Amino acid sequence: MKIKDLILNNKENTPWCLFTPSGANKEFCVLWIQGWSSSMDSHREGVEIMAEKSGVAFATLDYAGHGLSKVPMDESTRSQQLEEATAVFDELKAQGFKRIIVIGGSWGGYIAALLCGKRSPQTVVLRVPANYPDDEFNTPYKHTLRSKNYAAYTEKKETLKDLVNSSATRAIENYDGFVYVIAHELDEVVPEKIPRSYFESAKQGNYLVVPNTKHSPKTMDNPKPRFEYIEHLIVAIIEAVKLQGDIK
């Protein structure tokens, strides 16, 4: 496994990383977009496992406000973070990767959905995907409702207003590729209607459920088999994407 730490040549000098297993070619690559407050480092072990098992290169990044990024979280915006994820997608294309599978978890699922409105990934996988109203897209985090009044933000999320018909769901609606949505059966963070709304917006796709699992397995007593289950699903989806072109 070759692991290369890199820096984007953009305004934020975004840190990113490329995991290339032995024997991998440039036919496919996965762009892995992690959740809110997560970092490349916290996903490093899992990404390395999935890259090795699938034989496909994986790319990760620390977007504004996260991990090694020099941008403070309070100053970060969703528009900025989407631009950074898009820039890594473009860099992978520039490096010769032909088909990019975009996989996002939680907040990363929201960014992955939006990315479908800017680029054309081979396939998109949304795991426990979050969604957000469009009105704060360019707002620094410190001025968002989530930062200022988390209880009010949670209440608004539960009402689902503006969350099932946002720019993210419209991007999925207009996306011509295959969409996999993965929900967690016991998700206590993302209301079940949100991943369902992504799936119902897609032109084609599959809806999968991880049994007996909360939003984040690491908050549970026995997270290891749950992470293994999720990793197995991801690898199986990658294998399915490889074979999809053979199904006429």
For 139-148, what is each residue's pLDDT tens digit? 999 988 888 8
- Give yes or no for residue 39 having a pLDDT over 90: yes
pLDDT band at 83 (very low <50, low <70, confident <90, very high): very high
What pTM does this model have? 0.95
Q: Alpha carbon of 109 to those of 82, 89, 139, 220: distances in Å?
A: 11, 15, 19, 21
First-to-final CA distance of the chain:
34
When the pLDDT of each residue in the chain is averaged and rounded to a whole number, the result is 93
pLDDT band at 133 (very low <50, low <70, confident <90, very high): confident
- Alpha helix ranges (H) inside 116-222: 145-148, 150-159, 167-174, 193-201
Q: Kindly state the average pLDDT of the residues 210-223.
A: 95
Residue 153: pLDDT over 80 = no
Q: Give the model confidence (pLDDT) of 169-195 as tens digits.
A: 999 999 999 999 999 999 999 989 999
Look at residue 151 in the predicted model and tell me its pLDDT: 82
Percent of the chain beyond pLDDT 90? 85
Predicted pLDDT at 150: 78
Q: What is the pLDDT of residue 146?
A: 81
**What is the model's pLDDT at position 65?**
94
Band (157; pLDDT cuts 50, 70, 90): low
Q: Which residue(s) pair with 197 in the sheet?
A: none
Query: Residue 161: which pLDDT band, with cuts at 50, 70 and 90?
Result: low
Q: What is the pLDDT of residue 162?
A: 61
Delineate the domains of the chain, giving CATH numbers in brackets.
Answer: 2-243 (3.40.50.1820)
In the chain, DSSP finds a helix count (H) and a strand count (E) of 8, 8
pLDDT at 247 over 80: no
Q: What does the pLDDT read at residue 29?
A: 98
> In degrees to the nearest 10, what's the CA dihedral of 240, 246, 247, 248?
150
